[in-house]
Amino acid sequence: MEGYKREFIQFLESAGVLKFGDFTAKSGRKIPYFINAGEIKTGDQIAKLGEFYAKSYLEKVGNERAVLYGPAYKGISIAVATSIGLSKAGLDVPFFFNRKEAKDHGEGGVFVGYKPQKDESIVIVEDVITAGTAIRESMEILSSLESKVVACFVMVDRKEKGKGTKSAMAEVGEEFGFPVYSVVDVYDIIEYLSENEAHAEDVARIRAYLEVWGAKD
């Protein structure tokens, strides 16, 4: 596992974003761990989150310039933080996000921030993908633009089944024709937890869960 991935998991755990126990997902599934980006609530935390997204972006996309799109609401701070992280790494990229309701006065419209130009590449930055509903909503919102979505980044790939046997991330990628990347995936988390005997039960519970709900990508 790359060093930054280990650091990222440590960061998620220390910030309270990654929790272990008994939880119920939106899908109704009983899950042994939970990712809550809402626990990111200080300047230091959001700055670190942006640095990790930036490292993942540079690893997967390289120095290709794209416009970052952060879906309201959690994606907004992720887009801003990622653009700052990339800027510190030497790549200055613009960002924009949507309003939940279109504004009918002033500048108007549904978008805030940079206005993507024709044929520019857009990269969506989100927290997680569970069933893919949020990404499908984003694609509907972005359909009014003459730009093209070329990738999506999330914190964690759960490697869980979506509608079929493939993961929700894989299904979204196939549906819209672009790759969906994650900073880490659940198997990185298992590897990290396996290094500490105190997490032996958590590892066993996650493995058991994946035996039932794990994707067959």
pLDDT per position as a tens digit, 2-40: 788 999 999 999 999 999 999 988 778 899 999 999 999
Which of 26, 105, 118, 163 is an active site residue?
Answer: 105
Instruction: Decide if 74 is catalytic.
Output: no
At residue 129, the 3 state secondary structure works out as coil
Domains for the chain: give ranges and CATH numbers: 3-213 (3.40.50.2020)
Q: What is the pLDDT along the chain (217 residues), one digit of tens a residue?
A: 778 899 999 999 999 999 999 998 877 889 999 999 999 999 999 999 999 999 999 999 999 999 999 999 889 999 999 999 999 999 999 999 998 766 555 555 789 999 999 999 999 999 988 777 889 999 999 999 999 999 999 999 999 888 888 998 999 999 999 999 999 999 999 999 999 999 999 999 999 999 999 998 6
Which residues, at least 6 apart from 70, have a Cβ–Cβ distance to it below 8 Å? 76, 77, 78, 79, 80, 95, 96, 97, 124, 125, 126
Give the pLDDT confidence of 54-63 residue by residue, as tens digits.
Answer: 999 999 999 9
Residue type, 39: E
Q: Is 183 exposed, middle or buried (0-12, 13-18, 19+ CB in 10 A)?
A: buried
Reply yes or no on whether 199 is catalytic.
no
Residues 20/201, Cβ–Cβ less than 8 Å: no
> Contact, 186 vs 207, CB < 8 A?
no
Q: Are the C-beta atoms of 181 and 154 separated by less than 8 Å?
A: yes
Question: Which residues, in sequence order, are bridge partners of residue 19?
Answer: 34
Please tell me the pTM assigned to this model.
0.91
Q: Choosing from 103, 115, 159, 199, which is the catalytic residue?
A: 103
Tell me whether the omega of the peptide bond preceding residue 181 falls within 30 degrees of 0, making it cis: no
In Å, what is the CA distance from 79 to each residue of 17, 27, 50, 134? 18, 26, 8, 15
Return mean pLDDT, the chain: 92
Q: Do the beta carbons of residue 110 and residue 102 sit within 8 Å?
A: yes
